[in-house]
Structure formats: structure tokens, C-alpha cells
Structure 1
Amino acid sequence: MRILMIHNLYQIRGGEDESSAAEEKLLRSRGEIVEFYQETNDEERMKTFNSFQLASRTIWSGESYKIVRDKIRQHKIDVIHVQNFFPLISPSVYYAAQREGVPVVQSLRNYRLLCPNGLFFRQGQVCEDCLGQFIPYPGIVHACYRDNRLVTGVTTAMITTHRLLQTWHKQVNQFIALSQFARNKLIEAGLPEEKIVVKPNFVSPDPGQGQGKGGYALYVGRLSVEKGLDVLLEAWEKLAHPVPLKIVGEGPLKDWVVRATERFPHIEWLGKQPLTEVYKLMGEALFLVFPSKWYETFGRVAIEAFAKGTPVVASDIGAIAELVRDQVTGLKFRPGDGADLASQVDYAIAHPQLLQQMRNHARAEFLQKYTAEQNYEKLMTIYLNVVRRPAP
């Protein structure tokens, strides 16, 4: 099959970029032909546009429309898979594909079609003010995207314009949500239920099971408020029996984390680490802590932990609450509640036999749901279904 993968990469590559790159590599490894159209939000590229040009392109990019039509004709594309169109590519690529009679699959790795900042998160807590609003104007009022009303207004205009055009209903053949939680939110916001399927992320190659004998807890991720770093550090101040905590990642709360390491010698910040080192740390950790405060659409780091046989102590919110089974593959705590997180960590430390049982279950969960082979079969089923389906 010939697939055109479309992705607007972030200036700083994150989990969304890594997941789409993994899909591309998976498809190629199975003999599928993958072509690309990519843009990057790097500073030099963004400087080539003035404010009006950038706003216009976010809503409708004539350049992207032409590029996609040309690539379809040149490479005889069977299906287009849009990973991310925001902001430089725009939804115009859907129209280019349909004009050429090629079906469109859109992965939804955030809530950009529903919420101007794509997170349903504002001022340190979940916010659904724009959910159900045809024009998501509360986002402009609160300057939700980059703390800037102008750029939030542009994003809101993009969402509203394509709702008016019924782009999401008429121009996309299949949406991919990463979890049932995310699918439910999309349906609640008015996206067509029959067009949304769930296909999770995966881990490849299999990193192999670890031993869990390092005697420490581990956090891996962005050092930011929505990821619950404040909750994590609060919990470690309240532990009855302090367990060493290793923190891997970079982000705006780095200085806060550094100060915590100075006050508490059992907290260690390791900065950003290569994936091979992250897997080693995961494999030897007693458990991974996932303290997120926002509606995660998935939680890739959790299934990486499962692949190493490491249980996850997670906040009971969003997709991560769906991934972690309480006292089976991990433990859950009330989101945003550092005291409850501390109590769950103390409970885990006090029950080493349960930790070992959860290690075995976590590894089994990975093998059952999150391997490359299973994901390839699901992805190809989606592609084949839209290719065989009559055009709208």
C-alpha cells in the first residue's frame, strides 16, 4: 500500500512526533511504501510569515493543498494519514485528498479540534469551557494558546471555519483516537461517532523485561504543571517512608525540581536521557509515577513501563486511568492530590509481594495490547476499510 504521511512537527520533538515516527518505521518494516509531507514549527520557518500570512495559512494553506495533490499524482497514493496539520499545513490537505479521490485518516493525539490550546487545561486544572461551544470563544477570553489572545483567536477561527464547512464530518474518512476516553470526549464534542476508532500507541522494539531491583521510583516526562510535577514533589514531602525518586526530563519547572533535590537528598534529577538509558532506569525501578493533571489522550511512557514489567502509580484521570488497572498493573490516586499519591506510594512499598505480582501483570498487558505486530494489524485494517469504502 502507498501511504502519504502528513505531519506538522513541533520545534521541540515530543511524544506526538515520536509516536508518528514509530508508525512510519513500522509500516516501512512491513514493506508498505510511505511518502512524506512535513512542516516544522522552527523559528526560522515561522519568521518567513507575517502575522496575516500565518493566520491565513493556519485556516487554509493553498500551498499545502497543491503539494498534497501533486504528491498524490506523483506517487499514486492509496491513503493519506494526517498525523498533525497545525498550524502550517492546515485542513486544506483533506480537500486536496478528496479532490483526488484518496481517503483520509486523521490521528487525534490532542484535543485541537475541540479546544484552542489542545489540552482542556488552564491555570493548573482541567478546563472544559470550550467543550460544546460551536465557537470556542472562552479560549480567546483566557488567551489559552501561548498566553496570547491574537494567536488563540487564529486557532479559534480555524476551528470555527471548519465546523461551518463541516470539514470534520465530510472530508475525513476515519479518525483515530488513542484511547476510549479520548474517543468519548470527541463524540461529546460532536465529532461523528461512527468515524472514530481506537488504536493505541505501541512500543517497538520490545525492550525486554527488567528486574525492578533498583529500589527507587521513577518519573519520566516533561517537567510541567499539566504533567503534575507539583503533585509529585508534594507527595515526596509527605511520604511516611521516603523512597528514592529519580526524575528524567526537561521543562519549565526544572528550577523547581532542582530546588527540591537540594532540600531532599532522596530526590535526584537526571535531566534528559537517551531512550536506552530511560529503559534501563524503567526496568530497575520499583514503579513509575504518572501524576498527570490533564486529560492525557494516551500515556506512552506508561506502556513503555509495562514493556519493562514496571507497574505504574497513576492519577485517576483521562486515558491514563484507562491504561492502568488498579492493583493489577499499578495503583491509582486522586488527580492533583499529593497526599493521596503519597499514601499509594507508601502502600506499594509496604506490599512488595503485590509489587512483584503487578510487575508480571504489567508485562503481560504489554504483550497482549501494545506490541508492534498488533498495532500494524490494527493500522492496516483501518487503511483497508477506508480504501474499500465508497467515496462520500
Structure 2
Amino acid sequence: MKILFLNAFYAPHIGGGAEVILRRLVEGLQRRGCKVVILATGPEAGLHLQIQDGVPVYRAGLENGYWHYTQQRPPRLARLVWHYRDRYNAGMRRYVREVIAREKPDIVVGNNLTGWSISTWDEVSAAGLPIVQVLHDLYLLCPKDTMYNHGKSCQRQCGLCSALRLGHAAASAQVSAVIGVSRFVLERLVDQGYFARARQHVVHNCTPANPAQDDTPKKRSNFPLRFGYIGTLSENKGVGWLIEQFQRLGIDARLDIAGRGKLDYEAELKAMADPAKVSFLGYCDTDRFMRSIDVLVVPSRWAEPFGLVAVEGCANHLPVIATNMGGLPEIIRDEFNGLLCSPDDPDSLGTAMLWLYIDGALRQKLASQARASVLPMLDMERMLDQYQAILRETLQGTRTHHEPEPADHPATPRLEPVGIRQADAADAGRRLAAAD
């Protein structure tokens, strides 16, 4: 089986958890004997091939106003034009066509389509290849991927997003199988009429277990207590909300913030933070950061499709405070491995932090149960089994004639895919630019 993976970015360009998971998936399937090829956007015009850790990686120059892998926020008009063209970027089809002609894959796995647009579905279908679409975000409902606007998570598509996604649901009928990284994200898209003909699956993202994490949680003897956040620094991630709530508590504790964001927003956050209480660490190694804190906070104000960082926190024996939105409740169980709060009740975040600051016994109890609660999500081989089974099933289902299945990993057991509901299952332009 030869698989072409298509995504907005590929390492070393990491836009978020999707790129982390994709690299682990690609390298894992390659170890199992599958032939894998990557197609991602890149900073240079044209199509460029490099071999990266034994994997052919094609990078295509984005046929749009700018490459979206940047910490600089482009002007509003530039963002408007970018999103408008990204409705259906026909200019990107030629890269898909060229890579398919060169590599001759058996199946194509789409991931984040930002920059590529759904034009890729048409090109892959024109080549007669089956498509498996993995849902890491809400791009198919919202040009900004997040369905977050004016400080709140959108409960439904606004008129502008509906207009910019007109015809997308119908186009998704070309997809043979769809994989949601959470039940939440799959159901959100299916409820909007997407993937009516596709077999539907849920495969939670996994992170490899670090042997050093196997130890029982250790009590830190040094104080003050340390709360931590690691991830993208953006409004929808709730970083500003976290800083505000933490500083209002007036407790003997520290808040460490790791990660990067748009430079203008980073400056806003640093301006509101008390440097005696809040530290901005920039990029950090995740495991090392987790070992330096006592409580992980995931204060997402948007409906996070999954939340891999919450899994990583639990794997490191940390109690996790998270919002009860999106896919996070599929990881964090209230008062079992963490505490849940709600952006609809802003003080609930501060209350959760105060509770864990005061109640050391509860903090220790949640920490002691955290790792065991996410063990299935630490099993990379299990995730690879699930993906491989779905790919084989999809490929077999789209062959017009029976062919022997490729023996790319004979020792791998055939598993039934993890499924969900498989059987029953210009003024406007200014508003978009202002919202972005």
C-alpha cells in the first residue's frame, strides 16, 4: 500500500497538534512497511522534493497572497483576499496532480486542508483514488478553523461562514472514509451534512509513552505551587483568560506559559501579566515542561477538536484543569483526572485553580489517577492498527475487481475500525477581515 498524506504543513513546520500526530503516523506506518509520501505547503514557489528521515516530502509554494506559516499578522485586507481565494484554490490542484503522477499512490489521506482547500478532493477523485479525510479542526465550517469570534465559541455557522463554505458539504461526498480525532469533531461535521457517503470512524490521537513517565507522581517539595500552560498563544486558546483569573486569586503560586503566537498578541499578553507571578518561556520541550509544574491548565475558549496536550499532562501524572468544550471532556473527567470549567462562567477557571491550590489531597488524588485514565491514548501501536485497518478497508472497498491485499505488515492484527454511527449514521468581506 502506498499512501499520499496531504496536510497544510509538515515538520519542521509545526502549526499545532495535527503536524505532531501526522509525523508520528507517517513514520509509524513506514516502519510497518507501508510506502508513504507527504505533500505539504512550503515557503518557496513551485514544487520541491526532499527526503526527510527516509520519507519523501514534497513542499508546494502556496498559490495565495502569503504563506500562512507566520507569526506576523497580515493586514485585514490581505487576510480577506486570502480566505476568499481559499474557498476553492484551483491553483493548488496542479501540485496534487503532479505528485500523484510521480508517486502513483494507492490512496490519499487528507488532513488539515487550510491553503489547499477542497479543490484537492476534486483532483484526487479525478485520478480515481479513494480519499480518507482526517478531521483535526473545524476548517470545513469556518475559514479560521476555529468557529470562534468576538470572544466566544460559535454555536452555529454565521451567514458569512456559510457563504464561504457553500457547496463544501456536497463536495465531501467524494470522500470514501472520514476519521474524527474525537467524537465531537466528527459529529459536528456530520450534523452539518458532511460525509454522507463516507464510512465514519473515531480514532483518538495518541502520544508515545515516555518510560520516565511510568514512575508514580512525585510530590514537589519546592514552593510556590506552579500552574502551567503550553501551546499556541492565542485568544481562542484562553491564555488571556487564564492570566486574568490567576492574577485575581492573589495566591502564593506561579504561572508558567510556554509556547508562541502572533507577535502582536504575545505583546498584549505580556503587557497584562505581572512578571513577578507569570513567566513566558517561549518554546519548551513538552515533557520537560510538564515535569516542572504541578497543575496543567488547558483553558480553551473554543471547541477544541481534541486537546493532545491534556493527554500529555495526564501521562506526566498531572491533574489537568480544562474547559468542558469540544473533545476535551473525552480526555478529562471531572474530579477523576482533573477539573472541568466553562468559559460561560469565567470565574469557574479561577475557582478550579484555587481549589487545587488549597486541597493538596485532591491534587494528589487526581495526579495518581491521571496516567491510567489515558493509557489507551499512549499506545501508538493501537493508533497505527486503527489507521491501517481503515486504510485497508477503504482501499478494498473501492477496488472494482478483487485484488490480493498488500502484505505490508503481515504481523499486524486486523482490527475492526473504531467507528461511530457507521450503520445509521465587501461588507461581508470587512466583517471577515475584522473577525480574523
Normalised by the shorter chain, which TM-score bucket? Answer: 0.7 to 0.9
TM-score (norm 1): 0.82
- Tell me, yes or no, if structure 1 residue 8 matches structure 2 residue 1: no
Determine helix, strand or coil for the equivalent of 1:160. Answer: coil
Which residue of structure 2 aligns with residue 160 of structure 1? 166
Determine helix, strand or coil for the equivalent of 2:109. Answer: strand
1:371 and 1:61 map into 2 onto residues whose CA distance is: 39
| One-letter code aligned to 1:179 | S
Which residue of structure 2 aligns with residue 330 of structure 1? 338
Structure 2 runs not aligned, ≥5 long: 47-60, 67-77, 401-436
Cα RMSD (Å): 3.0
1:314 and 1:334 map into 2 onto residues whose CA distance is: 8
Which of the pair is proportionally richer in helix? 1
Which residue of structure 2 aligns with residue 197 of structure 1? 201
Which residue of structure 2 aligns with residue 22 of structure 1? 24
CA distance 1:225–1:372, change in 2 (3 Å):
same
1:162 and 1:280 map into 2 onto residues whose CA distance is: 42
- Tell me, yes or no, if structure 1 residue 257 matches structure 2 residue 265: no
Deviates more, 1:91-100 or 1:214-223: 91-100
| One-letter code aligned to 1:332 | L
| One-letter code aligned to 1:253 | Y
Determine helix, strand or coil for the equivalent of 2:166. Answer: helix
On the 8 A contact 2:110/2:131 being kept in 1, the answer is yes
- Tell me, yes or no, if structure 1 residue 82 matches structure 2 residue 110: yes
How far apart are residue 67 of structure 1 and its match? Answer: 4.3
On the 8 A contact 1:234/1:338 being kept in 2, the answer is no
On the 8 A contact 1:27/1:376 being kept in 2, the answer is yes
1:81 and 1:244 map into 2 onto residues whose CA distance is: 43
On the 8 A contact 2:233/2:259 being kept in 1, the answer is yes
Structure 1 runs not aligned, ≥5 long: 131-135, 141-152
- Tell me, yes or no, if structure 1 residue 110 matches structure 2 residue 132: no
On the 8 A contact 1:240/1:346 being kept in 2, the answer is no
Note the alpha carbon deviations across 1:69-98, whole angstroms, 9 max, x for none.
Answer: 4544543422211112332x3333323333
How far apart are residue 29 of structure 1 and its match? Answer: 2.7
Which residue of structure 2 aligns with residue 61 of structure 1? 90
Which residue of structure 2 aligns with residue 186 of structure 1? 189
Q: What number of residue pairs does the alignment pair up?
A: 362
2:338 and 2:351 map into 1 onto residues whose CA distance is: 14
**Structure 2 counterpart of 1:124, from 151, 168, 182:** 151
Determine helix, strand or coil for the equivalent of 2:108. Answer: strand
1:212 and 1:294 map into 2 onto residues whose CA distance is: 33
TM-score (norm 2): 0.74
Residue pairs, 1:305-384, within 5 angstroms: 305-335=313-343, 337-384=345-392
Note the alpha carbon deviations across 1:168-194, whole angstroms, 9 max, x for none.
Answer: 02x101111111111221122112466
1:36 and 1:332 map into 2 onto residues whose CA distance is: 37
How far apart are residue 295 of structure 1 and its match? Answer: 0.6
| One-letter code aligned to 1:137 | G
On the 8 A contact 2:233/2:265 being kept in 1, the answer is yes
How far apart are residue 126 of structure 1 and its match? Answer: 1.2
2:219 and 2:379 map into 1 onto residues whose CA distance is: 21
Determine helix, strand or coil for the equivalent of 1:191. Answer: coil
Deviates more, 1:308-317 or 1:332-341: 332-341
